[in-house]
Amino acid sequence: MKLFNTLTAILISLSCLTSAAAGRKPCGLLTDLVEHTDYTWQNGYASNVPVWQADDAIEPLQYVEIRSAWPSFSWIVPGEANATYQTAYRIIVADNPADAAAGRGNVWDSELVESRQSTAVLYGGSALQPRRNYFWRVKTLTGTEGESEWSDVKAFRTAATMSDYAACFYPQMKSLEHPVLVKSAGASTILADFGRDAFSQPLLTLTSDTGRDSITVHLGECLSDGRIDRNPGGTIRYHRYTFGLMKGTHTYRIKIRKDGRNTGRAAVLIPAYIGEVVPFRYCEIEGYGKTLTASDIVRETVHYPFDESASFFECSSDTLNRIWEMCKYSVKATSFLGIYVDGDRERIPYEADALINQLCHYGVDREYSMARRSHEYLLEYPTWPAEWILQAVMIAWYDYLYTGDSRSLKAGYEILKTRTLMQLREKNGLISTVTGLQTPEFAKSIRFNGKIRDIVDWPYGETDGFVFTAYNAVTNAYHYEALKLMNRIAAALNMNDDASYFEREAGQFLSRYNKTFFNGRKGYYVDGDTTLHSSLHANMFPVAFGMAPSGRTKRVMEFIRSRKMACSVYGSQFLMDALYEASDAEYALQLLTKTDDRSWYNMLRVGSTISLEAWDNKYKPNQDWNHIWGAVPANVIPRKLMGVEPLTPGFDRVRIRPQPASLSHARAVIPTIKGGISLEIENKNGEYRMQLTTPANMESEVCLPLLSEKYEVKSNGAVLKTSRLKGEPFISLGVLPPGTYTIEMKYK
């Protein structure tokens, strides 16, 4: 036992090296896309017991279980010098900490592998055994700094049942929070404001001199006349609990009542070790005559592990800064179930919520396991809207693009092919949900019990008057996007015949689509094959998916601008994507920062601190005040405004194409699987300046906005040769190696 404790101390010390040393060795190690595999949790709280000692604990502990017999490994390559690329790596896996600490891979030693790959490197030894502890580490070679030190040792534990591939995920966490304000709200009534809404459980430390006192605790998301609103409407939450106090000073945990709707058969249930939660910002204690301080009132908030420091954004618009903070927080706050759901009303996963949540999560944290778990859940349990069935292909592609790990694509490939809805294609080459092709065999193929139907937007009042016909422009636009992405997915899996098939089908379908839905006389798209009505939706989706005919987008964009924000918070994802796709950055910024009742600012104005399900209560009377699909700026700001998107899987190459419009400055840290990208932009006094740092092993295609016909560009003081992008208002700087660059453009 003494030897084991000594080895444990060695392993712990390896994890506590100085930050200076950490810069010379790989860091950010992920096992099957999860970083903190070496920790355990006890009923939501991080424990001091490392995972390899979990069996020694008397009480149950929660921890990440690696369920793949051949997991993947990823790491951040060390090196700050410009043009630092990994040239080789060596991974060792051991079944004990001593061998790992000594650099011996008694389970597997990859030996030196000449490769630039630093994400999703597959374990290559014999199948890992169930219920075992393993320890791995990696060292790298780079062209600028030579051989690195060994990384810290990363421990993980396998599950009781193993398979060739299975996604893993964290247990749920709790954080203790105290109110930011405690004040009197009337006679013997105290109001505590936690500053932000959260899915939580309250803990109160209260005193009774007699043991005959009774109090009432109110929990709510919003106020009315300085008190918690007892009738907030919709699905805005309010709870009331009355109970007696024991004599003396004691801490009371308020047991949250079960809600029949969000704990039903289709809902995702809260883990038993966490206990039921309710979203609330305010806690009101009524009937208590003594003084309470912030230390007496505690909120246990439940969430997925979240790194607040992984992302950052600040710009010259205070409105946009506030919107960013709300949307970033929304990602953390709505992660309370460990799987993406649609808010508190139902707690059911839906593809549309998951797609937006996925992109937002990628934009604010270096975390990929929750998105993957949600996607694979929805492959098994799809929902009813036709467009959302099609979104499964988009979610799958983004998962691969951001992680570089193709195993989920491979595992779900046959299901993904059915999610293109090719089975609903009619003789005219378009798909339809109303022409009799939804047979029982079709439903079985997509794993849905019932019939799907077109949705366009949700709620239906947000469709901009969309006219539903047998052949729907929005559903068919999604179909094209699914075909296009299935071509890329098949190619990534080396299924060349399938790749050729989907490429051919996508090309032919695009021509067919524009022939059917693009109205040449109007110059923009109509809603269906038998109507002349044109909606925002019929136009923004083709632009977002790159379908508009070459040279014909001007009139389409004019129509899109004329419709303003005639879509829901869900539809706004694709409106914003369309605007940036068309390089209409100034109008996009106007929509991001506008302050009427159809805006993200309105969510703040009405008092919410988590994104809403709809723009305002009047647009969806039963809406949630905790709905992630309203947090679109959390992904639009990093992806589109700051312009950081992966071009190749795993961020081997990234595109840096900011579109800041009239912002005078903007700066951001954007997380990626290869490490954070730091980007700062200034545009004033006839000069455009970009400060860019990309992590080692990542190259970037950098573009600047074309702000003047005459200009000179310097990179780190040297004049840089540039080129204009054909048909787009951008200047290309070409491909830059990883590193730090000060890029200056002066207008002549």
Which residue's structure tokens are 């299935």? 486
Q: List all residues 6 or more positions away from 133 whose beta carbon is below 8 Å from its beta carbon.
A: 51, 52, 95, 155, 156, 157
> How long a stretch of residues is the chain?
748
Nearest Cα neighbor of 565 from 553, 578, 582 is 578
What pLDDT score does 708 carry? 87
pLDDT in tens, 230-261: 999 999 999 999 999 999 999 999 999 999 99
Region 66-87 average pLDDT? 97
pLDDT in tens, 327-374: 999 999 999 999 999 999 999 999 999 999 999 999 999 999 999 999
Region 255-272 average pLDDT? 95
pLDDT in tens, 550-584: 888 999 999 999 999 999 999 999 999 999 999 99
Q: How many CA atoms lie within 13 A of 596 on its CB side?
A: 6
Instruction: Write the CA distances from 732 to 456, 582, 693, 700, integer angstroms.
Output: 36, 17, 17, 11
* Band (475; pLDDT cuts 50, 70, 90): very high
What pLDDT score does 19 carry? 34
Taking the C-alpha atoms of residue 414 and residue 417, their distance in angstroms, rounded to an integer, is: 5
pLDDT in tens, 399-427: 999 999 999 999 999 999 999 999 999 99
- φ/ψ of 97, rounded to 5, equals -70, -30
What pLDDT score does 23 carry? 59
pLDDT in tens, 503-538: 999 999 999 999 999 999 999 999 999 999 999 999
Alpha-helical (H) ranges within 633-678 are 633-636
Region 313-324 average pLDDT? 98
Judged by DSSP in three states, 465 sits in: coil
Judged by DSSP in three states, 328 sits in: helix
Taking the C-alpha atoms of residue 505 and residue 510, their distance in angstroms, rounded to an integer, is: 9
Taking the C-alpha atoms of residue 357 and residue 561, their distance in angstroms, rounded to an integer, is: 26
Take residue 603 and report the two structure tokens written for it. 């969510």
Take residue 68 and report the two structure tokens written for it. 């793949």
What pLDDT score does 200 carry? 98
Nearest Cα neighbor of 107 from 121, 93, 96 is 93
Taking the C-alpha atoms of residue 130 and residue 178, their distance in angstroms, rounded to an integer, is: 41
Taking the C-alpha atoms of residue 19 and residue 28, their distance in angstroms, rounded to an integer, is: 13
What pLDDT score does 626 carry? 97
The domain defined by 2-163 carries CATH number 2.60.40.1180: no
Taking the C-alpha atoms of residue 704 and residue 744, their distance in angstroms, rounded to an integer, is: 10
pTM of this prediction? 0.95
Taking the C-alpha atoms of residue 306 and residue 277, their distance in angstroms, rounded to an integer, is: 19
Under 8 Å between Cβ of 469 and 483: no
Strands 65-68 and 154-163: parallel
Q: What percent of the chain is modeled with pLDDT above 70?
A: 97
What pLDDT score does 18 carry? 30
308-641 and 653-747 have identical folds: no
Taking the C-alpha atoms of residue 224 and residue 191, their distance in angstroms, rounded to an integer, is: 12
Nearest Cα neighbor of 452 from 424, 474, 483, 478 is 424
Judged by DSSP in three states, 507 sits in: helix
Take residue 253 and report the two structure tokens written for it. 């945990």
Region 461-475 average pLDDT? 98
The strand ranges marked E within 287-408 are 297-303, 312-315
What pLDDT score does 686 carry? 85
* Band (267; pLDDT cuts 50, 70, 90): very high
Under 8 Å between Cβ of 643 and 730: no
Nearest Cα neighbor of 150 from 185, 194, 191, 99 is 99
Which residue's structure tokens are 């430390």? 205
Taking the C-alpha atoms of residue 628 and residue 635, their distance in angstroms, rounded to an integer, is: 12
Q: What percent of the chain is modeled with pLDDT above 90?
A: 94
pLDDT in tens, 372-397: 999 999 999 999 999 999 999 999 99
Cross-strand bridge partners of residue 425: 431
CA dihedral (264, 267, 268, 271) in degrees, to 10, reads -20
Q: Looking at the predicted structure, is the pLDDT value of residue 16 above 50?
A: no
Under 8 Å between Cβ of 51 and 77: no
DSSP state of 639: I
Which residue's structure tokens are 């706050």? 333
Q: Which fold has domain 308-641?
A: Glycosyltransferase (1.50.10)
**Which class is domain 653-747?**
mainly beta
Q: List all residues 6 or more positions away from 409 whose beta carbon is below 8 Å from its beta carbon.
A: 396, 399, 400, 416, 489, 492, 493
Take residue 453 and report the two structure tokens written for it. 């139907």
Take residue 20 and report the two structure tokens written for it. 């200076």
pLDDT in tens, 673-698: 999 999 999 998 889 999 999 999 99
Q: The domain at 173-303 falls in which architecture?
A: Sandwich (2.60)
* Band (278; pLDDT cuts 50, 70, 90): very high
What are the extents of the domains in the chain? 2-163, 173-303, 308-641, 653-747
What pLDDT score does 727 carry? 87
Q: Looking at the predicted structure, is the pLDDT value of residue 144 above 50?
A: yes
